Amino acid sequence: MVENPASSSEYIQHHLVNLPLNLRNFTLTPDGGFWTLNLDTIGFALFLGISFCLIFRCVAKRATSGVPKGWQNFVEMLVSFVDTQVRETFHGTNKLIAPLALTIFVWVFLMNFMDLLPVDLLPLGARLAGVEHLRVVPTTDPNLTIGMALSVFCLILFFNVKAKGFKGMGKELLHSPFPYLLPLNIVFRLIEEISKPISLSLRLFGNLYAGELIFILIALLPWWTQWLLGVPWAIFHILIVVLQAFIFMMLTIVYLSMAHESH
């Protein structure tokens, strides 16, 4: 809780700065330009992703075809859910799509879920440990969402080439949607393709960033009103957290299936 407006805006600003690592001189300063690593984003993303991998790996190792128990039940529920979505959307067989979708769904969900931790809990701990800035929700960092979207974009290109070959893809690029309207077709196609990673990344980033910002704003209110707004927003945010993870996964599947089939 902060009293005056100046410190309020400072508080907000403070919460929106990443923990930087300058890759030029390996100091924790933000002046590295492009060669700066957001340690908090990378760290939390890695921690959550590795947790996901380890837990799922443990379950996969011990998976029995008998009666599933506990974690296996949970994991199988997720796996069959993702598998159903992929089967319904992606026509054709590809070994990559379903594991990719599962990874996206669980990883993005876990990163989004960090938003439901109290905004000051981990930064406070970090400050006690001597770290000035810490942002705990990796998906509020556009670097992560754009990174993921670019990876998906690369896969879209790869699938295009794989399904149609360079020749077929070139033909499609030149002759659709309008036959023989070459320049227009290329412009259309470029816009279409480039809009995919942008919408994919900015949607996730925007939703989570806004959610985080509202939590920060709620944290600025007097303590006795916080639960009044914080609780409904947190409950609503549970929905957003799952929904955004699902949308990212679903759109990835849709884009890849579009790439796999001809226009």
Partner 1 sequence: MNLNATLLGEMITFGIFIWFTLRYVWPFIMKAMQEREKTIANGLAAAEKGVQELEDAHRKTAEMLHKARLDAAELIEKAHQRAADMIESAKAQAREEGSRLIELAKGDIAQEREAARHELQRQVSQIAMTAVSKFLGTGVDVRQQQAALDKFVTTLSMKEAS
**Sites of contact with partner 1 (CB under 8 A):** 18, 23, 32-38, 41-42, 45-46, 49, 52-53, 56-57, 59-61, 63-66, 68, 72, 75-76, 79-80, 83, 95-96, 98-100, 102-103, 107, 141-144, 146-148, 150-151
CA 28 to chain CA centroid, Å, is 25
Q: How many CA atoms lie within 13 A of 99 on its CB side?
A: 7
Q: How far is the CB of 63 from partner 1 (least distance, A)?
A: 4
CB atoms within 10 A of CB 145: 27
Q: Looking at beta carbons only, is 154 or 190 nearer to partner 1?
A: 154
Q: Which residues are bridge partners to 37 per DSSP?
A: 21
Nearer to partner 1, 10 or 31 (CB): 31
Task: Say how far apart CA 207 and CA 213 lie, in whole Å.
Answer: 10
| Closer to partner 1 by Cβ: residue 35 or 227 | 35
**Assigned token pair, 12:** 């907000």
Q: How far is the CA of 163 from the CAs of 125, 155, 236, 259, in angstroms?
A: 50, 12, 41, 8
- If the CB atoms of residues 28 and 46 are measured against partner 1, the closer one turns out to be 46
- Looking at beta carbons only, is 45 or 251 nearer to partner 1? 45
Spatial separation of the C-alpha atoms in residues 248 and 207, rounded to whole Å: 12
Q: At what angle do helices 97-113 and 223-260 cross, to 10 degrees?
A: 170
Give the nearest distance from C-beta 82 to partner 1 in angstroms.
9
Closest distance to partner 1 from the beta carbon of 250 (Å): 17
**Is 203 known to be catalytic?**
yes
- Which residue in 127, 199, 257, 262 is the catalytic one? 199
Least Cα distance to 162 among 256, 88, 254, 250 occurs for 256
CB of residue 21 to partner 1, shortest distance in Å: 9
Q: Rounded to the nearest whole angstrom, what is the least distance from the CB of residue 12 to partner 1 in the complex?
A: 16
Does residue 25 carry a catalytic annotation? no
Does the active-site annotation cover 57? Answer: no
Amino acid identity of residue 49, one-letter, is G
Residue numbers annotated as active site: 199, 203, 207
